A and B are shown apart, each in its own frame.
Chain A
Amino acid sequence: MALSQADVLAGLKEIVEEVAGIPAASIELGKNFTDDLEVDSLSMVEVVVAAEERFGVKIPDEKVTDLVTVGDAVDFIVNAAK
């Protein structure tokens, strides 16, 4: 099922807010998970698992380290869902 970038960003915002307590409004494509949003390694695992559940995609462990920004994650999920 194809997903739009806007849909994935909206979903990801909800997940990051739920897991890490970061207000959805401050979550943007260019934000870095670690440096800007202070999502630590354990919370990142939670974000990945929640995103897999929500979007029906698989995010392999070796890919997670490439997901530096919110935009990286959105692009990966959009492509994986194609």
Chain B
Amino acid sequence: MSQRRVVVTGLGATTPLGGDVLTTWSALLAGKSGVRTLTEEWTSLLPVSFAARVAIEPSEQMERVEIRRLDRSEQFAIIASREAWKDAGSPDIDKERLGVVIASGIGGVITMLDQYDTLNNKGARLVSPHTVPMLMPNGPAANVGLELQAKAGVHTPVSACASGAEAVGYALEMIRSNRADIIVSGGVEAAVHQLPMAGFAAMKALSTRNDDPARASRPYDVDRDGFVLGEGGGVLVLEEYEHAKARGAKIYCEIAGQGLTSDGYHIAAPDPDGAGVQRAIKFALRDSNLSTKDIFHLNAHATSTPAGDVAEANALRAALGGDADHVAVSATKSMTGHLLGGAGAIESVFLVKAIQDRMAPPTINIDNLDPAVSIDVVRDKPRALPTGDIAALNDSFGFGGHNVVLVFKSL
């Protein structure tokens, strides 16, 4: 039996650039930054006073009662999933053939910390009975699954900043292995809070460019000094190809394969040789029956950290060889900030839009390209991608040494 093919039939997002996919995508092509100074009092306690909050607050997109029962990460998942499901044409499907795979890197951390404050200040009786369903990392997937009545399985892979990409890859495998015909997949994160930010700051992982937040996320620039925390989420409806054709669905592109490896090197630092990344790219191409010649665009992980960006760029050059010369590399975290568990998902959404519009989004804030970077970075303005058959890669890496590479290709 030939392998079941999987296509993308719906997209949804809520990001620092917009409350939906189209607004986000236009802002991305226009090179806008979603990073802003935070107004909360607690920023005075931290060395970092900015982040990339969502452009549209969930309270403007959901009912009040839904909001109070859902952690912010769950709110993002519901908002992005509703858009994606509608975009897919709200397919009429046997619910036992419908699944959900939505990841989060940290889970309902804001709920956990808020309820801990309630416990300490007001006592156990006033801790919300919704606390556990709100803080559990599988909460975003579970709530979307409940809303759609999905019964083929609801899952939440967790691999820090690779979680969103891993979720999309897991969804691909669920459809390939005939567990389901449609999966709502993606990743979300809502961690703009003093504790996670203090933790990342303690690792020296965050940019401290407090005087110029919109210019702080600068992947590949010589003066990059860390990532900028973002929040939001992205969702892709994946569907078995024949199933999508049979119902006359709008098909964006194919998700052709994935490659997953682990570094076995360090809990947070990237392997400077990027061997794990190179293997992930090799496996992803093999899984897709493609070669480096077919790749014309890549959405890099590139978080704007001094060590990570160069390690990744070197690994890309090594894995793609001479063919890297025709791969337009975009580092969209320069505009969205780093959505942690949501990153791989929104960047997959961007890749699908790039293939659809044949346009690679820009990387902003590169005043001086790091001379150690030997890949073709799309700077300042979007760049047209070739017509005809093209494939594109999405790289995502997570603390713990997780490497995930997804392959999308035109149909």
Q: Is B63 in contact with chain A by the CB < 8 A criterion?
A: yes
Residues facing A in B119-149 (CB within 8 A) are 125-126, 128-130, 133
Contact B126 A21 (CB under 8 A): no
**Which size class do B's interface residues fall under?**
10 to 19
The majority secondary structure among interface residues of chain B is helix
**Min CB–CB distance A24 → chain B (angstroms):** 13
On chain B, the residues within 8 Å of A43 by CB distance are 69, 129
Q: Is B65 in contact with chain A by the CB < 8 A criterion?
A: yes
Residues facing A in B14-73 (CB within 8 A) are 63-65, 68-69
Tally of contacts, chain A with chain B, CB under 8 A: 18
Give Cα A49 to B123, complex, Å: 12
Residue of A at shortest CB range from B66? A21
**Interface 0/1 of B280-317, CB less than 8 Å to A:** 00000000000000000000000000000000000000
**Min CB–CB distance A50 → chain B (angstroms):** 10
Contact A49 B125 (CB under 8 A): yes
On chain A, the residues within 8 Å of B63 by CB distance are 21
The majority secondary structure among interface residues of chain A is helix
On chain B, the residues within 8 Å of A21 by CB distance are 63-65
On chain A, the residues within 8 Å of B128 by CB distance are 46
On chain A, the residues within 8 Å of B65 by CB distance are 19-21
Give Cα A45 to B126, complex, Å: 10
**Min CB–CB distance B233 → chain A (angstroms):** 24
Q: Is A42 in contact with chain B by the CB < 8 A criterion?
A: yes
Give Cα A45 to B69, complex, Å: 13
**Beyond A42-B129, A43-B129, 10 additional pairs, beta carbon < 8 A:** A19-B68, A20-B65, A21-B63, A21-B64, A42-B69, A42-B130, A42-B133, A46-B130, A49-B125, A49-B126
Residues of B within 8 A of A (CB): 63-65, 68-69, 125-126, 128-130, 133
